[in-house]
Amino acid sequence: MNEKMQAVQYVSKFERILNAATEAFAESGYHQTPVSKVAHLAGVADGTIYLYFKNKEELLVRLLQERLGDFIVCMRRELSNCKTTEASLRTIVKTHFSYMEQNRSLAIVVRLELRKPNQHVRSAISGPLLEYFSLIEEVVQQGIERKEIPRINLRTARQLIFGSLDEATTDWVMARNPQALMTCVEPMLTLFKGALRLRKPKGRKQIVTLQKREEDGNADS
């Protein structure tokens, strides 16, 4: 949405700096990027950055908070329409891939900074990140409550889901000629369903033959 507004018309300096920082940090990494480069990309003077951000680190932190917060809002909205666990899982995969695909630079920055040992940055973004983790775990938890998923360790399940999505995104980001991330939605979803041993919800037949299940899998991939 930020990018669109920018393309269309007026964008506040705050947003322009944030967007510039996203591009710059994605290209060479936070520490490699001089503030002057961000300023240049944003079309403002170096000093102007400091009218909007206390220092370079706050620029990074705000960037992550704003954008991740955006992502979470988006994800939560999409999830609210999902009736079944399968729909929820598909929404997570689709939304994750779609958001990252449309915000490639952000994807690069986020993936990197999430791994940095800097406590300051970590704690600043832990809010949105933990919320995302909760969202995923809630979906699994709900599946368990609905008897669509056997009892499994929530944390491990979340690690699998988030880790896989993140790794797929990393592959896409690193590849020179990546195929669209969105083409990976169904294959990944199929693996998730298998991992979580997801059954059809209550109304359906409980006993399915193995053949039947394999057909599902084939249909998905």
Q: 53: how many CB neighbours lie within 10 A of its CB? A: 21
Q: Which of 45-53, 61-69, 78-86, 184-192 is the region at the interface with a copy of itself (rule: CB under 8 A)?
A: 184-192
Q: Which of 43-51, 83-91, 154-162, 209-217 is the region at the interface with DNA (rule: CB under 7 A)?
A: 43-51
Binding status of residue 210 toward a copy of itself by CB under 8 A: yes
Closest to 185 (Cα-Cα) out of 220, 216, 160 = 220
Binding status of residue 13 toward a copy of itself by CB under 8 A: no
Q: 77: how many CB neighbours lie within 10 A of its CB? A: 11
Binding status of residue 76 toward a copy of itself by CB under 8 A: no
Binding status of residue 159 toward a copy of itself by CB under 8 A: yes
Binding status of residue 27 toward DNA by CB under 7 A: no
Chain-centre distance of CA 219, in angstroms? 26
* H-helix or E-strand spanning residue 58: helix 56-79
Binding status of residue 116 toward a copy of itself by CB under 8 A: yes
Tokens of 87: 């729909």
Among 15, 57, 70, 101, binds DNA (CB under 7 A): 57
Chain-centre distance of CA 171, in angstroms? 14
Helix axes 13-28, 56-79, angle to 10 degrees: 100
Residue type, 196: L
Binding status of residue 45 toward DNA by CB under 7 A: yes
Among residues 29 and 187, whose Cβ is nearest to DNA?
Answer: 29
Residue type, 149: I
Among 3, 27, 44, 84, binds DNA (CB under 7 A): 44
Binding status of residue 221 toward a copy of itself by CB under 8 A: yes
Binding status of residue 130 toward a copy of itself by CB under 8 A: no
